Amino acid sequence: MSNVKPVNLAEKLSLFSDTWAPRIVGSFNDNDLMLVKVEGAFDWHSHPETGDFFMVVTGKLDIELRDDTVTLGPGELYVVPAGVEHRPVARPVAAILLIEPSGTPNTGDPTTAVTKTRI
């Protein structure tokens, strides 16, 4: 058996308050599991090589697509297909779980992406 302990999402979310700054809380199969608090609108962007997984932990999240909007509440998830331009929007603050290949830039562009820290 491993010494790996379960991840308590509420506990991890209590460790930070800034928005649009993903925190890595675990990994598997070269993917990062990240928590992020979001408020307002993020930039329009796409990920040419990978889909973008969003699961709402608290609050409400709109994922705007160029021709539609997907609205998610707590416990709901949506995967934006690879290459599809999108923009997450939360009003007020929402907490979301993201899963993406390690090293994936959150903006789709390494020059504008934030640095992700592990907590």
Q: Report pLDDT digits (tens) over 82-110.
A: 999 999 999 899 999 999 888 776 655 66
Which pLDDT value is given to residue 1?
56
48-68 tens-digit pLDDT? 888 999 999 999 999 999 999
CA distance 105 to 102: 9
Instruction: Classify domain 9-118 at the CATH topology level.
Output: Jelly Rolls (2.60.120)
Identify the bridge partners of residue 38 per DSSP, sorted by sequence position.
94
**pLDDT at res. 118:** 80
> Residue with structure tokens 């609050």?
59
What pLDDT was estimated at residue 14? 97
Report how far Cα 76 is from the mean position of its chain's Cα atoms. Answer: 13
β pairing state of 86-101 and 31-41? antiparallel
CB distance 7 to 26 below 8 Å? yes
Residue 11, helix vs strand vs coil: helix
Give the pLDDT confidence of 6-41 residue by residue, as tens digits.
999 999 999 999 999 999 999 999 999 999 999 999
Is the previous residue joined to 105 through a cis bond, with omega within 30 degrees of 0? no
Q: What is the pLDDT of residue 48?
A: 87
Pairing of strands 117-118, 23-28: parallel
